[in-house]
């Protein structure tokens, strides 16, 4: 292991965000059950999944600090996870079209003697998504492995007309709050002087 920080996520977006902040880390993704209680509030659900992921990796590497996150898209309390098919992705995007939804990212950081658990929520308003653009979008793989079938940092940005809150929460890791929390574990950005 190159770093005392383990990122319990295979998300390339989360890795890119940590690299952007010059935080050294090693990826060690976890494969956990993502089943949730049916009416669990979205922020609580995101934290529950993040904690499960962090705990799974921390059990294997108790001497490391483990960072995990989970992002959930919700509309009127209904959770929209990662679509399992192109048809499901189409349904999700049609449902989100011309509406405002919530994107919540839960973050769990576990160390040898302490833990931090928090969530951030950002409000995202979609433009009216035309049928032609939607069909062209679905021909790409942009919707795959993304909550709500879109990523704001890529082609999904074509659908977003407004956000209220932290942009990075929508990408998958609220940066400011995460970096502040990591500092309490003595993990800091490695910025060259």
CATH of the domain at 71: 3.90.950.10
Active-site choice (70, 113, 141, 145): 70
Is there a catalytic annotation at residue 70?
yes
pTM: 0.92
Q: What is the DSSP letter of 183?
A: H
Domain containing residue 83: 5-183
CB 66 within 8 A of CB 58: yes
Q: What is the DSSP letter of 53?
A: H
Do the domain assignments include residue 188?
no
Do the domain assignments include residue 88?
yes
CB 138 within 8 A of CB 90: yes
User: CA–CA separation, 128 vs 160, rounded Å?
Assistant: 9
Greater pLDDT, 41 or 32? 41
Residue 50 has pLDDT above 60, yes or no: yes
Predicted pLDDT at 3? 58
User: What count of Cα atoms within 13 Å lies in the side-chain half-sphere of residue 78?
Assistant: 8
How many domains are contained in the chain?
1
């Amino acid at each position: 292991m190159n770093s005392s920080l383990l990122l319990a996520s295979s998300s390339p977006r989360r890795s890119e965000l940590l690299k952007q902040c010059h935080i050294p880390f090693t990826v060690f993704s976890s494969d956990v059950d993502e089943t949730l209680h049916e009416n669990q509030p979205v922020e609580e659900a995101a934290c529950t999944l993040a904690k499960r992921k962090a705990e799974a990796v921390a059990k294997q590497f108790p001497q490391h600090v483990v960072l995990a996150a989970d992002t959930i898209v919700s509309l009127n309390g209904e959770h929209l996870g990662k679509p399992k098919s192109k048809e499901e992705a189409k349904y999700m995007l049609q449902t989100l079209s011309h509406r405002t939804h919530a994107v919540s990212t839960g973050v769990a950081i576990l160390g040898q003697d302490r833990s931090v658990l928090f969530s951030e929520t950002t409000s995202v308003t979609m433009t009216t998504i035309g049928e032609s653009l939607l069909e062209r979008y679905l021909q790409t793989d942009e919707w795959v492995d993304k909550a709500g079938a879109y990523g704001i940092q890529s082609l999904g940005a074509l659908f977003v007309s407004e956000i209220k809150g932290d942009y990075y929460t929508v990408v998958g890791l609220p940066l400011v709050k995460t970096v502040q929390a990591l500092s309490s574990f003595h993990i800091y950005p490695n910025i060259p002087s």
